[in-house]
Every structure is written in C-alpha cells, then in structure tokens.
Structure 1
Amino acid sequence: MLSPIPLLLMDYAKSIDSHLRVNCSRKCEFKELFQMLSHMLQCLMAYAKMLLDEAVALLEEMEDNRVKPTVVIYAILMDSLCEAGKLEDAAKFFLDLVLKRLEPNVKIYTILMKGFCKKGLMDEANQLLRKMENDGCSPDDLTYNTIIRGYILKNDLTNALYYCDLMVSKGFKGNADTFSLLAGLLSSNNLSDSSKALLRKFLKLPE
C-alpha cells in the first residue's frame, strides 16, 4: 500500500493534468496552477526527507541484525545526506565507517568533501584532502575539481589556482563546470590584475 504522500502527489498530478486539459483553449489560470505546483513540490520534498529517514533507519536495522553494510551503501547514504544539507549526519557516518574498519575509497572522501565545500567549510575540506592522502587514498579528477570549485565559490582564487596547478601536475584536467566558474571570474571587479593574469594563464587565454 502506498503511503499518504505518494497518493497525494498522484492526486495533484491528476488535478494539474485536468486543469491543463480544461484550460487548453482559453487563458490558463496561472495563479491556481502555481499554487498546485507549489503544494506538489512541498510534498515531493517531504517525501524525499521521509525516504532518507527510512534509509538511515534501515542501515541501523541492518547493523542491529549484524548485517555489515558495504562501502557502497555508505556512499549512497552519505551523498543523499550531503545533498539534503545534513552534513553533520554524513560526517558521523564517515566516522562510523572508519570505526567499523571499512576502508573509505576516493568516492567516499569526495562525497564528504563536496558536503564541506557546499557549506563553505574549506578548512575542513582541505584537512580531509590531507587525511585522504595520508591514508593512502589518491585523489582523482573529481576530488580536485570539487575542492577547486569550493575555493572559487569562496572567492579564494589563490587556493583555487594552487589546486588547479596541482591537479594538472597529477595528470588530471578541469571539467566543464570548473572552467565555467574560472572563466566567470575574469569579469569580476574583485580580482586584481595579477590574479586575472594568473587565471588567463591557466585557462590558456591571450593576455
């Protein structure tokens, strides 16, 4: 049996479809439609939170029944928690993973790093990168692009370019999102001419 939220979403979808069919030949009542869509979005967000809570509960139930979760399960759950803004919970699961003597892989480290970067916690992201390297887990292109974008969003071009150089020296390349953010900085009034020159050099643009 479906829970109330999915059933409510289905009702909203039917109402919206009916509304569009009725109003297809005349001016649509956008205010009413907007309200319906807003309510539907709220239900979707509530349903997503409910599913995440159920996933956390399921992991705890697995452990209570002495079923050992895999690193893949931790990665999926931590990523979902970070996307939901629950960074502290994701960090707790990271520590839990380590305490259970499961070896964090590059994906696990990068997921948590992305969570730190989204919150603007660049000191924590940098410390995590150092821990990652000290633990013998080599960062990949996604790891470097993640921390570079974090520094860009904090308007810290010095560290962003430092990691750009480090990434290239390791044989990796910036992805489209990273280059787009870097290129966007060229039009910023907050950057000095010397910083823009360094940026142009990295992007291989003419002076």
Structure 2
Amino acid sequence: MLFSRRSAEDETVVAMLASAIRRDISFGVLHPDEKLKIEALRQRYGGSNHSMRETLRMLVSEGMVEATNQRGFRVTSATEDDLADILMMRIEVEKLALERAMKHGGVDWEAAVVAAHHQMIRAEDQLCQQPDDATALGWDEACRSYLTTLISACRSPRLHEMVGRFYDQSRRFRLARLREGRIDFGARRDRHEALKSAVMERDFASALRLLEEDTCADLRG
C-alpha cells in the first residue's frame, strides 16, 4: 500500500507539472526550440529532479517537447511545416472520432454536447468582454472540453487520446492568432451553431465539413 500511495502521489505531481509547462508552451512563455534545463524548471515550477524528468518525458510523448542528442530537452519547434503537419493530423483524427461518435452517441451524449457548447459560448463572451490571459485560458479549456465532448461517444480510448494530443500540440498556434486579434468570433460562433445542429440531426457530411472548416479557421484563418 505504501508504494502504491507514493506512486499515485508521484503521478499527481507529474500531472500538475505537465499541465503548467504545457500551458506555458501554449501561451508562448516557453518559446519554440528553447532549451529546458531541469534545475531551472524546478526553480520555476517545483518538483524533484525525478518528477521533472518524468514530466518532460511525458511532454515528449505528447509532441510538446523534444529530447536532444545530448540527453537534454527543448520545446518543440513551431514552424509553418509543423503547423501544416499538425493541422493535417488534427483534421483526420477529429473527423474519424466525430463520425464514430455520431453513429454511437445517444440522448445523454446529445445533452452533454449542448451543455458543453453553451459553456464554450459563455467562455467566449467573457473573453470578448475582458481579454486577458485568464479568460483566454478559460476559453481555450472550454473549447477543448467541447471538442472532447463531441467525440466522447466514439468508443475508442486511443482515438480519444489522439484527438487531445493533437489539440494540445496546436494550442500555441491558435493562442498566437488570438493574441494577434486574428480570430473572427462572429464567424466562429455561426460555424459552431451550424455544427451543433448538424450533429443533432446526424447530418454526417455537413458535420464533418464544418468541423474541418472550424479547425482550419482557428489555426490558419
């Protein structure tokens, strides 16, 4: 029991550290290609050498961090080629997951989609009224929650995990567009209203097209 408890505590610390570093990569606090030194990260985020190294290994598996040949770590690059590759993968896995969710989802899933959509719109309103890092993070998390809910009935944990992974990899591109004022919230809201309706009506062609259009618009405009 002692070892099990310690393991659970270690996993909690690693999860918290990963969340903080993932957030700072997404917001550009940690820059693309920036070297990540264990001791400097510990001073900034806390944790032990072991927990920080495990955190970085987790972020490597997610594609947020790269391991270098010298056994160090750095933030993954963020070039146009990186964006194109992430966008391609996001579209493919999201469309596959949504198609499966629309086939298998029932009334409870539909209710959850409507609720998550409502929460996303509320977060968007708050962001537009008071644009700062806190509301931007709340909006981004609400958008992630909505996407997660949309594909939650896909009946594939691995597919679900892949959708989340590519969403996280694309966050810094999306948040950069937000900081630059390049997201059209009016058009975005119209797309999501149409997407929600298509999902409820099981209009597969329209739903998959709208999902792809929205992902592309968020990342490239």
> Which TM-score bucket, shorter chain as reference?
under 0.3
| Greater Rg by CA | 1
> What is the TM-score when the length of structure 1 is the normalising length?
0.24
- Higher relative CO (Cα under 8 Å, sequence separation at least 6) belongs to 2
TM-score, normalised to structure 2, is 0.23
